[in-house]
Amino acid sequence: MLKQTLLYTGKAKSVYETDSADHLILVFRDDASAFNGEKIEQLDRKGKVNNRFNAFIMEKLAEAGIETHFEKLLSPTEVLVKKLQMIPVECVMRNYAAGSLCRRLGIEEGKELVPPTFELFFKDDALGDPMVNESQAISLGWATEEQLAQMKDLTQKVNVVLKDLFAKGGMLLVDFKLEFGVFHDRIVLGDEFSPDGCRLWDKETKKKLDKDRFRQGLGGVVEAYEEVAARIGVDLSDI
């Protein structure tokens, strides 16, 4: 598959067209951003680590019967994916309270949410990704009721698979964000799953092993991502 025109430069990845109308190449860069682009830094190795991490997770999800856009790794920083018509809604599942939920509702960080909470955010940098509800997403034409139901169902399935995977590595999957798109009329999981888009805590010490280390200036960001990878069996030895 040949890499062609640069279609889009996001905050962490660049998106290229290929010679196939149905495929794109995503390039994971070392850029880290937080607070809607206010804090930006380059973190050595982040692109390679997240590309490999994401491939591992996408393969686990495919094994569990969840269709994803992942096709194959092309290089340490590049992945071939199905080209999706992205739905501009981010699906967030929370097992424990953290981040914006604590800020919004005044809840103590770490409170277990039973059952897990499902939230939607409108993917729009200019507006700071505001929270939206299903009714708004339907009325504004971002997704149909059926598509949203499928996205919620798939997000719950991902939660079941990944909660267990991270638990085996001694970690709590606190929350995570997924993006979906349409591929030939089917809802397919797109974008990435990496410590950039989720929260992971050590089960015993509650040490943060995710992008909150960057947001909160705790240091050791990529080292923490590598620790998570090692705990769940992602092989990073050749990158």
Binding positions for ligand TMP, rule: CB under 6 A: 90, 92, 98-101, 121, 129, 175-177, 197-199
Residue 169 touching ligand ADP (CB under 6 A):
no
Which residues lie closer than 8 Å to 37 by C-beta, 6 or more apart? Answer: 11, 125
Residue 190 touching ligand ADP (CB under 6 A):
yes
Residue 35 backbone zone (phi > 0: left; psi -120 to 50: alpha; other: beta): left
Residue from 34, 64, 66, 86 in contact with ligand ADP (CB under 6 A): 86
Distance CA 210, CA 214 (A): 8
11 binds, among ligand ADP, ligand TMP, none (CB under 5 to 8 A by kind): ligand ADP
Tokens read off for 127: 């507006």
Residue from 78, 119, 175, 179 in contact with ligand ADP (CB under 6 A): 179
Distance CA 46, CA 139 (A): 38
Q: Residue of minimal CB distance from ligand TMP?
A: 99
In whole angstroms, how close is the CB of 196 to ligand ADP at the nearest point? 8
Contact (Cβ atoms closer than 8 angstroms) between residue 28 and residue 79: yes
| Residues at the contact surface with ligand ADP, assessed by CB under 6 A | 8, 10-13, 15, 24, 69, 81-84, 86, 179, 181, 190-191
